[in-house]
Amino acid sequence: MSGNSALEATKVPLLNDLASSATEQDSEQQSLSRRVWIESKKLWQIVGPAIFSRIASYSMFIITLAFAGHLGDLDLAAIAIANNVIVGFDYGLLLGMASALETLCGQAFGAKKYYMLGVYMQRSWIILFLCCVLLLPLYLCASPFLKLLGQPKEVAELSGIVAILMIPLHFSFAFQFPLQRFLQCQLKNMVIAWVSLLALIVHVFVSWLFVYRLQLGVVGTAITLNFSWWVLVFGLFAYTVFGGCPLTWTGFSIEAFSGLWEFTKLSAASGVMLCLENWYYRVLILMTGNLQNAKIAVDALSICMSINGWQLMIPFAFFAGTGVRVANELGAGNGKGAKFATIVSVMTSVVIGVFFWLLILLFLDHIALIFTSSKPVLEAVSQLSILLAFSILLNSVQPILSGVAVGSGWQSYVAYINVGSYYLIGVPLGILIGWVFHKGVMGIWGGMIGGTAVQTLILAIITIKCDWDKEAENAGKHVRKWGGDEAE
């Protein structure tokens, strides 16, 4: 039958067709709640284990900070600066670069081009490892770098020692982030969750052993992160290569060395997009370090940022889930499905965000006791509670919209939005309120929240106006461009 004949045949109102049409119409009318339920199950299949694994991974940093906080205010400030500035700078860039896999692997998986997932991951390993080598001076020269940025001398020197001890952690990012996204795009999040649990248990034990048993002090707290993060790497790698991914991992391939420049450009766009977000609040820590009574201000803000980061693992899990769901649907050519997945994810995350907003307003004073018993620091944390609560509420939307961008391959556009919103609006506004109007850390943080609000509004407008059918068509071109037709 010719194409035109087939088209005409589909227009004949046969009894079966009418019955089928009526069933579909009834289904659409009766099943908004059912569609939400089905999409929620697909989303939570990714988000549920992702929340656990991300909270477990971030808890390693929190545990390290808590152990340091009970050693003394200087130790807490040194670990906080090393984690939030040196490791945070590095973490944000490499995590962002690895997120290119969420676009490529997610769309390839949706298009059933399974072989290419393993090739993409190997390309990402190569690029991220080379990036780690280039970033190594950041760790080796951390102390003079922090002094140059205006940090107190004693804090900068101790932070420099901590940073050097975290170099193995630095290289673990190059392998762990691609492995996580490779598995995540195949909906193998439970594997990541179980390995993360094992790494967390190892971290708690090693922290206790090094700090309390061996009395290694702040040096011991810094070393512990190396152990736990390499447990993550070896655990995920073992699952991948020893039969856990028979369709998507077919061994090391020479193809991983082809197309590296094009892959690097997409990874760089992803890195810039996400690291500009990740670095944004690291800038807040640095600016606070230049205030009067900086040690107390940095300690209080570090505690708030740690709590914020802990809770942010939930929106980041939705970021991952939304990116995978959108990429899978676009890769399968289903633009409407991608749009619906976005709506369900945003609404679910907002409900969770409101819950944590209330929780912080009511119980922040008690939560802060986990990190310190210093009365001045606790009082400073209490003053920041309202800003922390509203940061959490805003962050329940912003990462999900970024996840849509990753799933759709909009990273380069969002990078420009982030530069404008964060660094041309948020940072100057924070400086204006914090220093010119003498509002200190609350003014700096409040101004920077304004930048986040602007970025969220712009992303929301772009998402609402998106032509999802066109994005689905572009996803098909993406898969072909990146070699998806090379192997089935």
User: Among 151, 82, 109, which residue's Cα sits nearest to residue 325?
Assistant: 109
Helix, coil or strand: residue 113: coil
Q: Tokens standing for 118?
A: 């393993």
Is-contact 113 488, C-beta < 8 A?
Answer: yes
For residue 290, what are the CA distances in angstroms to 147, 152, 287, 441, 442? 11, 8, 5, 10, 14
User: In residues, how long is the chain?
Assistant: 488
Angular region, 72: left φ>0, alpha ψ -120 to 50, beta rest: left
- DSSP helix, strand, coil percent of the chain (3-state; round to 5): 85, 0, 15
Residue 485 pLDDT: 45
Print pLDDT tens along the chain (488 aa). Answer: 444 433 343 333 333 433 333 444 444 444 788 888 888 888 888 888 888 888 888 788 778 777 776 677 777 777 777 777 777 777 777 877 887 787 778 777 777 788 888 888 998 899 899 989 998 988 888 888 888 877 778 778 888 888 888 889 989 999 999 999 899 888 888 899 999 999 999 988 988 888 778 877 777 888 888 888 999 999 999 999 998 888 889 888 888 787 778 777 777 776 776 677 767 766 776 677 666 666 677 777 777 877 887 788 888 888 778 877 887 788 777 888 888 888 888 888 888 888 988 888 887 777 777 777 778 878 878 888 888 888 888 888 887 887 777 666 676 677 788 788 888 898 888 888 887 887 877 888 888 888 888 988 888 888 888 787 877 777 666 555 555 444 33
* Burial status of residue 253 (CB atoms within 10 A of its CB: 0-12, 13-18, 19 or more): middle
Is 0.85 topped by the overall pTM? no
Non-local (6+) Cβ contacts of 339 within 8 A are 466, 468
Residues 163, 55: Cα–Cα separation, whole Å: 23
* pLDDT for position 8: 41
Helix (H, G, I), strand (E, B) or coil at 370: helix
Going 104 to 350 to 388 to 60, the CA torsion angle's sign is: negative
Residue 317 has a pLDDT of 83
What CA–CA distance (Å, rounded) separates 346 from 352? 10
Taking the CB of residue 343, how many other CB atoms lie within 10 A of it? Answer: 12
